[in-house]
Chain A
């Protein structure tokens, strides 16, 4: 197959939002100032599990400067059993509302109970402290295995199976027969702690409930339409009554898909008659938003003497936090997704516990399960005396491999990623000295489709405005503009991307699921093709010809030729402006494989790990803007290394988080990681015109097991809990 050549795709232009971001001019939600705006504060539960006996807001309401106080009682009436669905399956409205403002019980320390709007944030905080809440504390349960045990405190009376909210079961082939063929079976159980995405910008929302019943919201969200739909659902309003303007976003990583503040700001605004702004503190972010689940995963793998996997079994229990939805399903779908295995059994449990309700975090669920699979494979490789990448290559998933959850892969790049790892300079370099270890691992993550919309309008100066609705977290303005530029034969700088509110562009799904460059990119591509067709028609009219060709930014026919810009200048005299929109709901999603090689040094006296060298390898299908692909790979790797080594919610027995600050949560800083080397593999996705695969997530899957495997090589110990921090390494 010949490789297409591109003019723009694969180059590294300056990003369109770069100047505003580096000069501090970009406007984030906390920057917003509106006329007559007032400020909110949220009262949060000090108990991990308690019945709310009484809430008395009188003293708060009486404080001078207070405009409004709201509790769950201020939600508009709705049937108790109402279900809502805004694209991710049906959820009970009571659960959705319950996490936003507690009703009846509080289910975690940090659970929002009431909110205040006041003349400034200090008065609002003072007023929140004046709200009297009587609690009847209840026993709490903090881990999945404890919550599944008989006699555990029960969080929700309506769940049929105690604290188990959902089970998942995938089975393929004949497990017993598979294990019977094995000459070596290794089984291990590994735990991971609750961790947070750690975006730098706290959640924020400003709302104005107008007298006409329409609500305008400005917020930091990964998806303005999902924020709109969820807010409308919570407030039991038609979606058209809510308009969401997405502000710039300071990171999300999956954690800014759910709504926390938007409906509360709206309720406060309705009472106050003014715009109300809510901004979380860092502690609010840790205790009041959605971290990713802690988990226990047991994996058993059998191989024959050649290292071919004959059977694989997994048992997964993920902590959903206070409400169902622990991402155990994707954890189960990905646990063996890198390998071609005939006989598989996977059982997963979504378990509610008295911790913040979990949210998505970059390839949600996959790092937890890959940790078990990839460390078991490392042990098998060692016992067989095989190179760990060779073992993986002997079992790697390929086109046609069936995953345990059903689908067969189309063209994928698992083998190519493994081969790139094996051929890398890093993998072939010696370790620098004693107490050092090298670990490898690979991982898989899906791409999702979901709808996206885009509009392109041609300017008379030959540039093109791009109107879209995808939150730009990782450089998507650039990657989308570049796809338009490629089709239109223009430079990336000739496209002016703008992200607009929910009233101003067609429906667009979240920036999540590694989808934006793929799916919104497809919408941009399709709109650009429509522009080309309309421009050809204008040229045809101008030249009185039937056929016009377009290549490299030049329209030509029968000896005539005009550049895109020259033709754009004549649109006014050939029928008026050209503006084209496209909406897609793509099915040709790719999925991406990633691998990591990591070298570590462990101080044998203190247990401190120093990360010496890291190489991240990932299949990007086609890298539109290689710098931002590398940025995604480095970002996911950095987060995964922090998760592996030091990050965790350190909870006391009462369920209170004791390290809810960046001082003590111990994310890695720039001083803790070396430059992360990257190798972009390109196995084009047949489902996208440029071959794009989403690259935002798969890169966070390998670091947990790669670190565990490297630590084993450095210390001789196979640890069974993440974070593998210095004390754990020493067994203290």
Chain B
């Protein structure tokens, strides 16, 4: 690891200014990806800009309508320890408790998980399922993109030079909706998803009124499969309907073979994990009167 400078701006404009003047800067939130990458030589940095001191990046805001804004540097433990977030976003709390171990969760953030743009990122399929958007600040001002459009390639994202992620915004969950993220790992913790699936379902008048499904670890980026959700619209939430949606998710996947699993095994798991995530989302929707 080469020596680098460290800066910790206290405001968003200061951070944007620094970023604009330092093209080889790297942003540090929890550092649980960045520091490992720097130490292994996978990434280099002249300057590391710590964004934890910027108030807006450190806030959790649960609005009156239950929409949720999570600052990009908010560590996972603050989500898992937040009673209102637990009550309204049980799936999000679960994901925050699955990223790394307890010590990692003291530092790691969902914002960092999103910016790191790993195909296997645990939080991203769920954020996609929850229709979350990424709020970005940069030299040209602020903009917002849907999370499913944020990642562009393994380790690459939408951010242009000088931009940083400010927060993740999740719109208010509709009544009678539920969400879930499930991942397959051979162990029980401390592992990278071989396949992950995030799902949300909204019920109305006995049929599915809205549904979204996304997968991790089966494509160059976390994969939103609109066809899978769309296939459920207007359908009664039967096992056959969920299975058919899961099959569509499987068909959309383009997994590779690596040390974590073969392409054939991943393809098989796509259908299993997608169906199980839909089933869990459905059961939560049915509980949410």
Tell me which of A122, A664, A669, A732 contacts B268 (CB under 8 A).
Answer: A732
Shortest beta-carbon distance, B114 to chain A, in Å?
A: 20
Please tell me if B258 contacts chain A, counting CB pairs below 8 Å.
yes
Q: What CA separation (Å) do A126 and B1 show in the bound complex?
A: 8
Q: Once the chains bind, are B189 and A671 in contact (CB under 8 Å)?
A: yes
Q: What CA separation (Å) do A668 and B185 show in the bound complex?
A: 12
Q: Who on chain B is nearest to A609 by CB?
A: B186
Which residues of B, 241-271, contact A by the 8 Å Cβ criterion? 258-262, 264-265, 268-269
Taken residue by residue from 179 to 190, chain B's Cβ proximity to chain A (1 for < 8 Å, 0 otherwise) reads as 000001011111
Q: Once the chains bind, are B2 and A666 in contact (CB under 8 Å)?
A: no
Q: What CA separation (Å) do A645 and B188 show in the bound complex?
A: 13
Q: Who on chain A is nearest to B263 by CB?
A: A732
Which residues of B, 160-218, contact A by the 8 Å Cβ criterion? 184, 186-192
Q: Kindly list chain A residues whose C-beta atoms are within 8 Å of the C-beta of B269.
A: 606
Shortest beta-carbon distance, A194 to chain B, in Å?
A: 13
Shortest beta-carbon distance, A504 to chain B, in Å?
A: 38
Q: Known: A122-B1, A659-B259, A663-B191. Contact between A732 and B186, CB under 8 A?
A: no
Q: Kindly list chain B residues whose C-beta atoms are within 8 Å of the C-beta of A19.
A: none
Please tell me if B240 contacts chain A, counting CB pairs below 8 Å.
no
Shortest beta-carbon distance, B48 to chain A, in Å?
A: 15
Q: Once the chains bind, are A732 and B265 in contact (CB under 8 Å)?
A: yes
Q: Who on chain B is nearest to A660 by CB?
A: B259
Which stretch (A329-337, A518-526, A722-730) binds chain B? A722-730
Q: Once the chains bind, are B268 and A650 in contact (CB under 8 Å)?
A: no
Please tell me if A658 contacts chain B, counting CB pairs below 8 Å.
yes
Q: What CA separation (Å) do A442 and B265 show in the bound complex?
A: 33
Q: Once the chains bind, are A658 and B259 in contact (CB under 8 Å)?
A: yes
Shortest beta-carbon distance, A60 to chain B, in Å?
A: 16
Please tell me if B12 contacts chain A, counting CB pairs below 8 Å.
no
Q: Once the chains bind, are B265 and A666 in contact (CB under 8 Å)?
A: no
Q: What CA separation (Å) do A126 and B3 show in the bound complex?
A: 11
Q: Known: A126-B2, A606-B184, A606-B269. Contact between A664 and B190, CB under 8 A?
A: no
Q: Once the chains bind, are B184 and A608 in contact (CB under 8 Å)?
A: yes
Taken residue by residue from 691 to 732, chain A's Cβ proximity to chain B (1 for < 8 Å, 0 otherwise) reads as 000000000000000000000000000000000011100101
Tell me which of A606, A672, A725 contacts B188 (CB under 8 A).
Answer: A672
Q: Known: A122-B2, A732-B264. Contact between A650 and B259, CB under 8 A?
A: yes
Q: Once the chains bind, are B3 and A606 in contact (CB under 8 Å)?
A: no
Please tell me if B272 contacts chain A, counting CB pairs below 8 Å.
yes
Q: Kindly list chain A residues whose C-beta atoms are within 8 Å of the C-beta of B265.
A: 726-727, 730, 732
Q: Once the chains bind, are B186 and A658 in contact (CB under 8 Å)?
A: no
Please tell me if A646 contacts chain B, counting CB pairs below 8 Å.
yes
Q: Kindly list chain A residues whose C-beta atoms are within 8 Å of the C-beta of B2.
A: 122, 126
Q: Known: A650-B259, A658-B258. Contact between A730 and B268, CB under 8 A?
A: yes
Q: Once the chains bind, are A732 and B258 in contact (CB under 8 Å)?
A: no
Q: Kindly list chain B residues whose C-beta atoms are within 8 Å of the C-beta of A125.
A: 1
Taken residue by residue from 129 to 148, chain B's Cβ proximity to chain A (1 for < 8 Å, 0 otherwise) reads as 00000000000000000000
Tell me which of A605, A608, A650, A671 contacts B186 (CB under 8 A).
Answer: A608
Q: Kindly list chain A residues whose C-beta atoms are within 8 Å of the C-beta of B260.
A: 664
Q: Once the chains bind, are A727 and B184 in contact (CB under 8 Å)?
A: no
Q: Kindly list chain A residues whose C-beta atoms are within 8 Å of the C-beta of B268.
A: 730, 732
Taken residue by residue from 587 to 623, chain A's Cβ proximity to chain B (1 for < 8 Å, 0 otherwise) reads as 0000000000000000001101000000000000000
Q: Kindly list chain B residues whose C-beta atoms are within 8 Å of the C-beta of A126.
A: 2
Q: What CA separation (Å) do A606 and B270 show in the bound complex?
A: 10
Tell me which of A606, A669, A732 contacts B189 (CB under 8 A).
Answer: A669
Q: How many residues from B make CB contacts under 8 Å with A?
A: 21
Q: Kindly list chain B residues whose C-beta atoms are within 8 Å of the C-beta of A659.
A: 259
Q: What CA separation (Å) do A659 and B192 show in the bound complex?
A: 12
Q: Once the chains bind, are A668 and B187 in contact (CB under 8 Å)?
A: yes
Taken residue by residue from 285 to 324, chain A's Cβ proximity to chain B (1 for < 8 Å, 0 otherwise) reads as 0000000000000000000000000000000000000000
Q: Once the chains bind, are A122 and B190 in contact (CB under 8 Å)?
A: no
Number of contact residues on A: which range applies?
Answer: 20 to 34
Q: Once the chains bind, are B187 and A666 in contact (CB under 8 Å)?
A: yes
Q: Kindly list chain B residues whose C-beta atoms are within 8 Å of the C-beta of A608.
A: 184, 186
Interface of B is mostly: loop
Q: Kindly list chain B residues whose C-beta atoms are within 8 Å of the C-beta of A122.
A: 1-3
Q: Once the chains bind, are A669 and B187 in contact (CB under 8 Å)?
A: yes
Q: Once the chains bind, are B186 and A666 in contact (CB under 8 Å)?
A: yes
Q: Once the chains bind, are B272 and A606 in contact (CB under 8 Å)?
A: yes
Q: Kindly list chain B residues whose C-beta atoms are within 8 Å of the C-beta of A725.
A: 186
Which residues of A, 641-656, contact B by the 8 Å Cβ criterion? 645-646, 650
Q: Kindly list chain A residues whose C-beta atoms are within 8 Å of the C-beta of B3.
A: 122
Q: Kindly list chain B residues whose C-beta atoms are within 8 Å of the C-beta of A732.
A: 262, 264-265, 268
Q: Kindly list chain B residues whose C-beta atoms are within 8 Å of the C-beta of A672.
A: 187-189
Q: Once the chains bind, are A664 and B187 in contact (CB under 8 Å)?
A: no
Tell me which of A650, A658, A664, A726 contacts B192 (CB under 8 A).
Answer: A664
Q: What CA separation (Å) do A407 and B193 show in the bound complex?
A: 51
Q: What CA separation (Å) do A646 and B188 show in the bound complex?
A: 12
Q: Who on chain A is nearest to B260 by CB?
A: A664
Shortest beta-carbon distance, A644 to chain B, in Å?
A: 12
Q: Kindly list chain B residues whose C-beta atoms are within 8 Å of the C-beta of A668.
A: 187
Q: What CA separation (Å) do A125 and B1 show in the bound complex?
A: 8
Shortest beta-carbon distance, B198 to chain A, in Å?
A: 17
Q: What CA separation (Å) do A730 and B190 show in the bound complex?
A: 23
* Most chain A CB neighbours (cut-off 10 Å) among B3, B188, B189: B188
Q: What CA separation (Å) do A727 and B184 show in the bound complex?
A: 11
Q: What CA separation (Å) do A726 and B192 show in the bound complex?
A: 15
Q: Kindly list chain A residues whose C-beta atoms are within 8 Å of the C-beta of B261.
A: 727
Q: What CA separation (Å) do A666 and B184 show in the bound complex?
A: 14
Q: Kindly list chain B residues whose C-beta atoms are within 8 Å of the C-beta of A666.
A: 186-187, 191
Q: What CA separation (Å) do A126 and B41 show in the bound complex?
A: 11
Q: Once the chains bind, are B187 and A671 in contact (CB under 8 Å)?
A: yes
Tell me which of A606, A645, A658, A669 contacts B190 (CB under 8 A).
Answer: A669
Q: Known: A122-B1, A727-B262. Contact between A663 and B186, CB under 8 A?
A: no
Q: Who on chain B is nearest to A129 by CB?
A: B41
Q: Kindly list chain B residues whose C-beta atoms are within 8 Å of the C-beta of A658.
A: 258-259
Q: Once the chains bind, are B188 and A671 in contact (CB under 8 Å)?
A: yes
Q: What CA separation (Å) do A41 and B260 show in the bound complex?
A: 30
Q: What CA separation (Å) do A666 and B259 show in the bound complex?
A: 10
Q: What CA separation (Å) do A666 and B3 show in the bound complex?
A: 32
Q: What CA separation (Å) do A192 and B269 show in the bound complex?
A: 25
Q: Once the chains bind, are B259 and A646 in contact (CB under 8 Å)?
A: no
Q: What CA separation (Å) do A606 and B261 show in the bound complex?
A: 12
Shortest beta-carbon distance, B30 to chain A, in Å?
A: 16
Shortest beta-carbon distance, A667 to chain B, in Å?
A: 9
Q: What CA separation (Å) do A608 and B258 show in the bound complex?
A: 18
Q: Once the chains bind, are A726 and B186 in contact (CB under 8 Å)?
A: yes
Q: What CA separation (Å) do A663 and B104 show in the bound complex?
A: 13
Q: Who on chain B is nearest to A673 by CB?
A: B188
Q: What CA separation (Å) do A672 and B187 show in the bound complex?
A: 6
Q: What CA separation (Å) do A646 and B187 show in the bound complex?
A: 8
Tell me which of B1, B192, B258 contacts A663 (CB under 8 A).
Answer: B192
Q: Who on chain B is nearest to A723 by CB?
A: B186
Shortest beta-carbon distance, B266 to chain A, in Å?
A: 9
Q: Which 5 A-B pairs have the closest CB atoms?
A: A732-B265, A650-B259, A727-B265, A659-B259, A658-B259
- Beyond A668-B187, A669-B187, A727-B265, 12 additional pairs, beta carbon < 8 A: A122-B2, A122-B3, A606-B184, A606-B269, A646-B187, A663-B191, A664-B259, A666-B187, A669-B188, A671-B188, A726-B186, A730-B268
Name B residues whose Cβ lies closer than 8 Å to a Cβ of A. 1-3, 184, 186-192, 258-262, 264-265, 268-269, 272
Name A residues whose Cβ lies closer than 8 Å to a Cβ of B. 122, 125-126, 605-606, 608, 645-646, 650, 658-659, 663-664, 666, 668-669, 671-672, 725-727, 730, 732
